[in-house]
């Protein structure tokens, strides 16, 4: 299924078997989204929380 990027209005390809909580990213602007809900075959996205990993450098 396809959905649209809220940032740049570009198309985002979402796998047909996508699950809630999966992260997808916009190929055009690189923004990451989390699938918040799947309703009627349409994936609703919300901006992904960017977790800063502490690699202990
Ligand atoms: Zn975008």
Ligand 1 geometric centre to CA of 47 (Å): 11
Residues 6+ apart with CB under 8 A from 27: 10, 12, 13
Ligand 1 geometric centre to CA of 51 (Å): 19
13: in domain? yes
Ligand 1 geometric centre to CA of 41 (Å): 21
10: in domain? yes
55: in domain? no
Counting Cα atoms < 13 Å in the Cβ hemisphere of 30 gives 1
Domain coverage including residue 26:
2-47
Ligand 1 geometric centre to CA of 28 (Å): 5
1-45 confidence digits (pLDDT tens):
889 999 999 999 999 999 999 999 999 999 999 999 999 888 999
Model-level pTM? 0.77
pLDDT of the residue at 14 = 93
54: in domain? no
29: in domain? yes
Please tell me the total count of domains within the chain.
1
57: in domain? no
53: in domain? no
* Number of neighbours of residue 28 by Cβ within 10 angstroms: 13
Q: d(Cα 44, Cα 34) in Å, to the nearest integer?
A: 8
Q: d(Cα 55, Cα 41) in Å, to the nearest integer?
A: 38
């Amino acid at each position: 299924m396809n959905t649209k990027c809220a940032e740049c209005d570009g198309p985002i390809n979402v796998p047909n078997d996508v699950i809630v909580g999966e992260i997808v990213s916009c190929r055009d602007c690189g923004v990451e989204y989390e699938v918040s809900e799947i309703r009627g075959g349409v994936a609703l996205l919300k901006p992904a929380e960017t977790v800063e990993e502490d690699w202990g450098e």
